Structure 1
Amino acid sequence: MKISEFKNNFKSLPIAFTGLALGIGGLGNCYRQIFSLNNQSQVGNWVSCAFFPFLILFVLMILFKYIFHFHELKKDLHNPLTVSLMPTFSMCLMLLAGFIGMWDRNITSPCQISAATLMVLAIAIQFILLFYFGKSIFYNHIKKSEVVYGSYFVPTVGLITSCTVSGNIPAIPNIFFQVIWYLGYFMFLVSLSVITYLLLFKIDKLNKEHYPTIAVWFSPANLSCAGFYQVFILAANKQVDLYPQTFLNVIAILTTMLGFVTTVLLYFFIFRIFVHRFNHNLKTFSPILCSLSFPCAIGVTSMIFTAKAIGKINADLNSVFLNDMQSTFGVVSIIFCAITSAIILYLLINMLIFAWKTLFKQKSD
């Protein structure tokens, strides 16, 4: 195969690769957190190393696509579906920053400097894509009453992804991530009613092939829950005293309940998707199914952070009830992690096959 043909094949790679990369990175973070629940943080760090090479590979593939074919970037920015999924690229960088920072928490270390720099860059890219999305797509698309996608939450609530790994980057003050959480949570509350209404009453206009994108609707609640516990409970020390305990309790209860319910509903939704494909004999794999990956992973993450937060609160209280609650959420997170691992493994295998066929196809094929 000629080099020119190989470069040209990158044009056919879908943005779904960064969506899957985000799910894989999120799952790697889940395994690391599960091991930390059992005081085996170092083991968890090494286990997560098995996941992040795939995240880096898929991110580089999409990066090369836009480098080799810059016109594809312009085209994707004007497509209502792809532009809402493009922030998964910056969200992947946030997870990668957390992965780099976890190896050395000394704020003057090369790991922390690199992680903090990458995190700031990722957040800046997220804001740029959010601004473009809001100005060019969201306003005009809603104004014209055209079809909407569940992935419209990605540019807005996706900011909170940085909060889920903030504990690995002490070089950036925790108060910074608390502000990011407030911004993401506010945009979640504002966009929830609008997007939900349009999904319910404009669903007849949505192409059935794009149904899996609705899965993203289930992720903001869990992302808000995981981010809240990380920046306000787990990573907070003196900062936690800045907020009334009643406020923290109310947000904790609401986000946890909503996160648990949406994760269970998500699994039923995914089951229905695969039953539909089986009943209609849809054997051809579609990259749009990668929309299922991150919502599953963040559902697991929120349950793990809930268990860890309860454990931290119970350290001083030594309550039997809280101890049982921690154990319950720990078991729930392991069950959710097993289900999510099976789903993401299926997506990973099929996307690797898809990537091989796409990148190494020849004109004669």
Structure 2
Amino acid sequence: MPSLPFLQPCRCIMASSYFRPTSLPTPLAGLALGIGSLGWCLENTGLFTGMAATTGAILSGILLALLLVKFLRAPNLLKDELKHPVIGSILPTYSMALMLVSAAISGRVGTGLWLLAVSLHIILLLIFFWERGKSFRLPQLVPSWYIPPVGIIVADLTSPGGSWAGLAMALFWFGLISYAIMLPVMIYRLIFEPEVPDAAKPTIAILAAPASLSLAGYLAISPAPSGLLVLMLLGIAILMTAITYLGFIRLLRLPFSPGYASFTFPMVIGATALFKSVPFLAQWGASDGTVATLLWLARLELIGATLVVGYVCWCYARFFLAKQAKPANNH
């Protein structure tokens, strides 16, 4: 697998004591996605009356704007990243985060931004398929490959509805079918192929995201959800999230790298999926104890997700400050 300089620990990304957007690591888009989704998830507590979602969208938007400056100033770097088997799969987190930002904007502007984000995601998806199809090797497969085809389901969580409901439903089924096809292949690769390189190991946390995202997206757009599909996705989502939390015992021992951003969104979407499942289970006649247990688990996962996002933000802050201070200390 090609080297992953943006994921390597302790690699200086600040070439001078002043801030340069072109030195920002692309996984920062994943952190923007995690922050934006956490803002929306916190609204399920009923404590923030829209402020958490707005704050998350603003912070996410700032990070996306900085990355946009990077890509505009260094188009050749973007071209190289699109060809990379890992970075190319992470780039669509940019469009996913942009979808979340669009949900905080009302009216035609919000709808237009949503369509722009969806279009961008489809373009990145097609480029990813094209590049990987030219030289596919199974050992290159890492969990971040779920992002281009399955990540588009974020469009369902942020859909403006109305005349766009049909598009949102089509995107959901595309993402779900992609997940169903990729899951056995991913399991085979992780078990029987060489171990994922340390630099890409943070992407293992992404295994928790597809089932939870599929469930949350399905419940967001389906007027009459299938109980069988909901329960199947719910079971897989809880299982994969639990496995990922256990995996943190090893993943958090890795030296910090920008790839830590992979830890954020999967944990947040896990909590979001559970919160969305609670009213549906109650509507379908589940016992009060079952509903209460699921709500308790959703709140527990939200606490965990908040801690994970906060920790990754803290690590990023230390990382950037240390890299900015290093040149100054050399004088």
Both structures adopt the same fold (TM-score exceeding 0.5): yes
Could you tell me which of 98, 107, 110 is aligned with 1:112? 107
Structure 2: distance between partners of 1:74 and 1:361: 29
Report if aligned partners of 2:39, 2:52 keep a CA contact under 8 Å in 1.
yes
Compared CA separation, residues 322 and 174, structure 1 to 2 (3 A): farther
Q: C-alpha separation between the residues in 2 aligned to 1:148 and 1:261?
A: 22
Paired residue total: 316
Does structure 1 retain, via aligned residues, the 8 Å contact 2:85–2:140? no
TM-score (norm 2): 0.88
Q: TM-score, normalised by structure 1?
A: 0.80
Q: 1:223 & 1:52 partners in 2: Cα distance?
A: 19
Cα 1:163/1:46, change in 2 over 3 Å: same
| Deviation per residue, 1:195-245 (Å, 9 max, x gap) | 2222222233x321321111112211111111111111xxx2xxx3xxxx7
Aligned to 1:208: 198
1:356 CA drift (Å): 4.4
Pair 1:22 & 2:27 matched: no
1:14 is paired with a residue whose SS is coil
Establish whether residue 75 from structure 1 lines up as the match of residue 80 from structure 2.
yes
* Aligned 8 A contact 1:76 1:83 in 2: yes
- Match for residue 296 of structure 1? 267
1:33-65: CA deviation from partner (whole Å, max 9, x where unpaired): 232xxxx7xx43123233222211211121111
What residue is the counterpart of 2:5 in the other structure? none
2:140 paired residue number: 147
Structure 1 position 131 matched with structure 2 position 126 = yes
Deviation of residue 147 (structure 1)? 2.6
Instruction: Judge conservation of contact 2:139–2:194 (CA < 8 Å) in 1.
Output: no
Q: CA deviation at 1:30?
A: 0.8
- Which structure 2 residues correspond to residues 217-256 of structure 1 after superposition, within 5 A? 217-232=207-222, 236=223, 240=224, 248-256=226-234
Instruction: State the AA in 2 paired with 1:159.
Output: I
Distance 1:214 1:141 in 2: 22
Note if contact 1:147-1:198 (Cα within 8 Å) is conserved in structure 2.
no
Determine whether 1:353 maps to 2:324: no
The match for 1:199 is 190
- Which deviations, in whole Å up to 9, do the C-alpha atoms of 1:287-333 show, x marking residues without a partner? 1111111111111111111113234x25xxxx4x4433332211111
Q: Retained in 1: the 8 A contact 2:202–2:251?
A: yes
Partner of 1:339: 304
Structure 2 unaligned spans of 5+: 1-14
SS in 1 for 2:84: coil
Residue number in structure 1 paired with 2:250: 272
C-alpha distance 64-135 of structure 1, shift in aligned 2 (>3 A): same
* Cα separation, 1, equivalents of 2:17 and 2:109: 32
Counterparts of 1:61 and 1:355, CA distance in 2: 14
Larger C-alpha radius of gyration, 1 or 2?
1
Q: For 2:279, give the aligned amino acid.
A: K
Poorly superposed stretches of 4+, deviation over 4 Å: 4-8, 356-365
CA contact (8 A) 1:10 1:359 kept: no
* SS of structure 2 residue aligned to 1:44: coil
- Cα pair 2:22 2:69 within 8 Å, conserved: no
Structure 1 residues without counterparts, runs of 5 or longer: 101-110
Inter-partner Cα distance in structure 1 for 2:60 and 2:257:
19
Q: CA–CA distance in 2 between the matches of 1:323 and 1:176?
A: 36
Counterpart Cα distance in 1 of 2:161 and 2:45: 21
Identical positions, percent: 23
CA distance in structure 2 between the aligned counterparts of 1:358 and 1:57, rounded to whole angstroms = 20
Give per-residue Cα distances to partners, 1:86-132, cap 9 Å, x unaligned: 000000011111122xxxxxxxxxx2211111111111111111111
Instruction: Please say if residues 9 and 358 of structure 1, whose CA atoms lie closer than 8 Å, have aligned partners that are also in contact.
Output: no
Q: 1:26 to 1:8 in 2, by over 3 A?
A: closer
Residue number in structure 1 paired with 2:70:
65
Partner of 1:175: 166
**Does residue 12 of the first structure (1) align with residue 23 of the second (2)?**
yes
